[in-house]
């Protein structure tokens, strides 16, 4: 074969490469058992039957005027770009191409012979029968016997494989169920132990009740009281199983106060005790209903706490001075009892005071922020009305007046986004506004103490440190987090987040750690001593994070416009729980925390309260409109805009976009 030209152009689209005879001869030991029959044949074809361009068996052979043969598509593609023969470089055009019928026939015959050589015995036998090969009955019987035996063997192997697969599945299923059974047995053991511990504790309470009854009888010297005691149930009553020791002690102290004194009449004492017993029974039934409403999540909560703290009894210090350590009463059981008690204690929110935030000169009444001062005596409100108003909490609650006047008013240049009271200096409060200005105010003088104007866009959030009274942090739409010191006129630290900042919050146990929620759907947790990288980034929200609040030094709650709240453990950097029930898709609706409770607003003009161990709401309250009927279509456009707990209290301040502020209290 003549020497190939280096200028030949390979087609852009070509068949998949197949091993040539040259490659096969270079590697005679290569294994071709698994290759198709037609590819096996190609390894034995003379290299003169290969196209010089694609190096594959010639397909649709065409001959050039200079005597070389190529695949039709290969030579046509080459001639579109060049005008020479790929082999000898002589001038060549499409008019000098002719079909090579002889080469096509030779190629087809060679291919057929190679396929025949590589065909399996079964294929040869089938071809022989199709061509009319004579076979005797005896030979057919022998072949049928062999085929039947081969079929039986293959069926046997297939059945064995199927049985093995089934056996593996059943063994895996058994292992899984045994593990589940062991887990259930462990849970049953926990429950059995805890039932025994609770029964012993209840018996102690009943004995304490009897001792009080004896003391009352001795003090009263009256048989009627004894009769009243006999009317109380002396056996274990299932209806009072949810009562804790502390609750039992307080109820009997209350009963002793009612019966104390020589001037009480016998009939009055008896009726009072009966009335109290009926009231307690009704409360127990109501609390049981709340338990059943949240039973699945309470079950998981119990098992989780029991698994984590199995067989770890409380120390005397953990129980406290007024609680006696009892045999078998584990830490997990005590923790769950606390959850159960706090969860079932309240079922609704009651309005104890209401006031209007707006005025005639500012028709826009949205309250963006509402915050208590250090001692929870005053609370401040701010919003689009360009004014910070400070109210006396006790006056608002105790005075039934229709209009409550603020004790302090401080006008501002712009609409306000957020407020934060100084945790040490009672009269200092910080604010952020729509122009990006961070201001520290003195409530007593009604003047600004410091003004920081470094933010370039709207500042959404500000927070004073709980441990360092001169430090505060702010976040803005300019994607910057800035740390300020009230003794300096410029920021002491900047963090560029590359996303709009919606909320910032200091860890209550450290002046170095802050949580930042942003429009990138994430919460960034920073140590300000090394602000170049966050300690951790919490991911899970599907929209912007609007609020972050710390329940404790290691528990962080977040709110997002994806209509969820989330709880995170910043110490172990893990998500804990997701809360759903409220509606929040576009507005900032507020977030506040208080011990074991989390509260937020909703775009349905409702306030929702969650327990941190349960993902569904414990209770909720709908704002009524004083100007519109609740059934009016326009009432649906209002939303809750700010919420704030009164520390260590079931009382909460709430405000909505209409400018209505309500003081709510959790009630049974």
Q: Which of 274-283, 504-513, 541-550, 566-575 has the lowest mean pLDDT?
A: 274-283
pLDDT tens, residue by residue, 561-617: 999 999 999 999 999 999 999 999 999 999 999 988 999 999 999 999 999 999 999
In this prediction, residue 254 carries a pLDDT of 36
Mean pLDDT of the chain: 80
7 pLDDT tier (thresholds 50, 70, 90): very low
In this prediction, residue 276 carries a pLDDT of 56
Alpha-carbon span 53 to 10, nearest angstrom: 6
pLDDT score of 12 more than 60: no
In this prediction, residue 214 carries a pLDDT of 83
Closest residue by Cα to residue 383 from 43, 82, 642? 642
In this prediction, residue 274 carries a pLDDT of 54
Per DSSP, the three-state class of 155 is: helix
499 pLDDT tier (thresholds 50, 70, 90): very high
625 pLDDT tier (thresholds 50, 70, 90): low
**Multiple choice CATH, 61-131, 3.40.50.300, 3.40.50.1220, 3.90.25.10, 3.30.40.10:** 3.30.40.10
Give the CA radius of gyration of the chain. 43
**436 neighbors 429 (Cβ within 8 angstroms):** no
In this prediction, residue 130 carries a pLDDT of 75
pLDDT tens, residue by residue, 45-63: 567 788 888 988 888 889 8
**Residue in the structure block whose two tokens are 């005027």:** 65
277 pLDDT tier (thresholds 50, 70, 90): low
pLDDT score of 42 more than 80: no
More confident position, 646 or 323: 646
Average pLDDT for residues 627-650, to the nearest whole number? 73
**Residue in the structure block whose two tokens are 């240049």:** 413
pLDDT score of 89 more than 80: yes
In this prediction, residue 24 carries a pLDDT of 38
Fold category of 348-626+634-667 in CATH: Methylamine Dehydrogenase; Chain H (2.130.10)
Buried-exposed string 493-502: b where 16+ CB fall within 10 A, e elsewhere: eebebebbbb
According to DSSP, residue 2 is labeled P
Average pLDDT for residues 354-361, to the nearest whole number? 67
According to DSSP, residue 63 is labeled E
In this prediction, residue 30 carries a pLDDT of 41
Q: What percent of the chain has pLDDT over 70?
A: 78
Per DSSP, the three-state class of 609 is: strand
More confident position, 330 or 71: 71
> What does the angle CA 329 – CA 332 – CA 334 come to, to the nearest 5 degrees?
55
504 pLDDT tier (thresholds 50, 70, 90): very high
pLDDT tens, residue by residue, 153-187: 999 999 999 999 999 999 999 999 999 999 899 88
pLDDT score of 333 more than 60: yes
pLDDT tens, residue by residue, 380-401: 999 998 999 999 999 999 887 7
Q: Which of 203-212, 318-327, 353-362 has the lowest mean pLDDT?
A: 318-327
CA distances from 599 to 343, 594, 609, 612 (A): 14, 8, 4, 10
In this prediction, residue 610 carries a pLDDT of 95
Average pLDDT for residues 467-490, to the nearest whole number? 94
In this prediction, residue 541 carries a pLDDT of 95
Query: Looking at the chain, how many residues does it have?
Result: 668
CA distances from 32 to 112, 123, 309, 604 (A): 18, 19, 64, 73
């Amino acid at each position: 074969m003549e020497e190939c030209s280096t200028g030949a152009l390979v087609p852009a689209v070509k068949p998949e490469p197949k091993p040539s005879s040259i490659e096969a001869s270079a590697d005679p030991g290569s294994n071709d058992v698994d290759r198709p029959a037609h590819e096996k044949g190609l390894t034995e074809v003379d290299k003169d039957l290969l196209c010089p361009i694609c190096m594959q068996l010639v397909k649709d052979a065409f001959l050039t005027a200079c005597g070389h043969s190529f695949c039709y598509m290969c030579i046509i593609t080459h001639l579109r770009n060049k005008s020479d023969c790929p082999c000898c470089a002589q001038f060549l055009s499409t008019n000098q191409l002719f079909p090579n019928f002889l080469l096509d026939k030779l190629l087809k015959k060679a291919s057929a012979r190679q396929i025949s050589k590589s065909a399996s015995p079964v294929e040869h036998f089938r071809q022989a029968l199709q061509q009319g090969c004579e076979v005797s009955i005896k030979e057919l019987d022998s072949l049928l016997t062999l085929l039947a035996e081969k079929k039986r063997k293959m069926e046997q192997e297939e059945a064995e494989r199927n049985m093995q697969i089934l056996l593996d599945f059943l063994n895996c299923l058994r292992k899984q169920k045994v593990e589940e059974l062991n887990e259930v047995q462990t849970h049953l053991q926990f429950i059995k132990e805890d039932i025994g511990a609770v029964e012993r504790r209840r018996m102690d309470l009943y004995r304490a009740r009897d001792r009080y009854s004896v003391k009352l009888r001795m003090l009263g010297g009256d048989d009627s009281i004894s009769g009243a005691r006999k009317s109380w149930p002396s056996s274990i009553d299932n209806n009072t199983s949810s009562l804790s020791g502390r609750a039992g002690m307080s109820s009997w102290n209350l009963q002793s106060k009612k019966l104390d004194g020589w001037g009480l009449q016998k009939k009055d004492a008896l009726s009072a005790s009966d009335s109290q017993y009926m009231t307690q029974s009704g409360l127990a039934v109501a609390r049981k209903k709340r338990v059943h409403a949240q039973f699945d999540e309470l079950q998981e909560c119990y098992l989780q706490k029991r698994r984590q703290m199995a067989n770890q009894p409380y120390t005397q210090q953990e129980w406290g001075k007024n609680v006696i350590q009892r045999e078998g009463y584990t830490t997990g059981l005590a923790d769950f009892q606390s959850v159960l008690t706090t969860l079932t204690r309240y079922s609704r929110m009651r309005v104890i005071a209401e006031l209007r935030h707006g005025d005639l000169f500012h028709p826009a009444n949205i309250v963006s922020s509402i915050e208590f001062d250090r001692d929870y005596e005053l609370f401040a409100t701010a919003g689009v009305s360009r004014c910070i108003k400070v109210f006396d909490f006790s006056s608002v609650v105790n005075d039934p007046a229709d209009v409550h006047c603020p004790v302090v008013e401080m006008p501002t240049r712009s609409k306000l986004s957020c407020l934060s009271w100084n945790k040490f200096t009672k009269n200092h409060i910080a604010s952020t506004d729509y122009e990006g200005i961070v201001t520290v105010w003195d409530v007593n003088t009604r003047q600004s103490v410091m003004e920081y104007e470094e933010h370039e866009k709207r500042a959404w959030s500000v927070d004073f440190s709980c441990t360092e009274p001169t430090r505060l942090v702010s976040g803005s739409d300019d994607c910057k987090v800035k740390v300020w010191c009230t003794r300096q006129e410029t920021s002491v630290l900047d963090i560029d987040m590359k996303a709009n900042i919606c909320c910032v919050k200091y860890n209550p146990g450290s002046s170095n750690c802050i949580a930042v929620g942003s429009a990138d759907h994430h919460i960034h947790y920073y140590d300000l001593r090394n602000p170049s990288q966050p300690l951790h980034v919490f991911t899970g929200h599907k929209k912007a994070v609007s609020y972050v609040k710390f329940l404790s030094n290691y528990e962080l709650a977040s709110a997002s416009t994806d209509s969820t709240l989330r709880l995170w453990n910043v110490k172990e950097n893990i998500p804990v729980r997701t809360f759903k029930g409220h509606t929040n898709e576009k507005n900032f609706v507020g977030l506040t925390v208080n011990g074991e409770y989390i509260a937020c607003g909703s775009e349905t003009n409702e306030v929702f309260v969650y327990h941190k161990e349960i993902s569904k709401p414990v209770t909720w309250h709908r704002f009524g409109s004083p100007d519109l009927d609740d059934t009016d279509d326009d009432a649906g456009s209002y939303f809750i805009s700010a919420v704030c707990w009164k520390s260590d209290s079931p009382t909460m301040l709430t405000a909505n976009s209409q400018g209505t502020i309500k003081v709510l209290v959790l009630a049974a």
